Amino acid sequence: MKRIVFALLFVLGLSVSPTFAQGVHIYDPNANATEQIAAAVKKAHAEGKNVFLQIGGNWCPWCVKFHGFCDNTPEIHQLMEKNYVRVMVNYSKANKNLDVLAKLGYPQRFGFPVLVILNDKGERIHTQNSAYLEQDGGYSIKKVAGFLKNWSPDALNPAHYASK
């Protein structure tokens, strides 16, 4: 019985995402999230974009997976580059950024990664539970693309909705 349990634990250990074995660090626990967000808001304002906050930690396999999905899926990468200034906000034992998360309405209540959209003035306009963007053990291109399009500056342009 001990051999079976050991074998199962060994196989489970091998199934952990290879990114962790490589020591991927997409979040910086030492970063000042307040300063990062302020710089992103300034840049977004200058470029006519919104700010995309991905909150999570290097400990979170879904956080690493979402980051890789955004970087390595051409349609998603293009939507992100066109419409958003992206900031990775760390949440870990070393630095939970609780002051920042309090100002954002406690998005950690949705689990990780949690996605927060700010407009170019730094106002929170949406918080997204990333679980709604998942499909078949990963992320759905259709769902993520729809989310990014729906919260883009163009989609929020009042001129599109004014009566004519």
Q: Where are the domains of the chain?
A: 24-154
Question: What pLDDT does 52 receive?
Answer: 99
Q: What is the DSSP letter of 123?
A: -
Contact 50, 41 (CB under 8 A): no
Q: Quick one: 67 exposed, middle or buried, by C-beta within 10 A (0-12, 13-18, 19+)?
A: buried
For 70-86, b/e burial (b = at least 16 CB within 10 A) is beebeebeebbeebbbe
Sheet with 124-129, strands from edge to edge, namely 84-90, 50-56, 114-118, 124-129
Confidence (pTM)? 0.86
Question: What pLDDT does 117 receive?
Answer: 99
Question: What pLDDT does 77 receive?
Answer: 99
Distances (CA, A) of 11 to 2, 20, 77: 14, 15, 33
Could you give phi then psi for residue 92, rounded to 5 degrees?
Answer: -150, 175
CATH of domain 24-154: 3.40.30.10
Strand, coil or helix: 54: strand
Q: How far apart are CA 87 and CA 55, in angstroms?
A: 8
Contact 54, 63 (CB under 8 A): yes
The pLDDT profile of the chain, 164 residues, written as one tens digit per residue, is 656 545 455 544 544 444 443 578 999 999 999 999 999 999 999 999 999 999 999 999 999 999 999 999 999 999 999 999 999 999 999 999 999 999 999 999 999 999 999 999 999 999 999 999 999 999 999 999 999 999 999 999 999 998 86
Question: What pLDDT does 122 receive?
Answer: 98
Q: Which residues contact 134 (CB under 8 A, 6 or more apart)?
A: 62, 140, 143
Question: What pLDDT does 163 receive?
Answer: 81
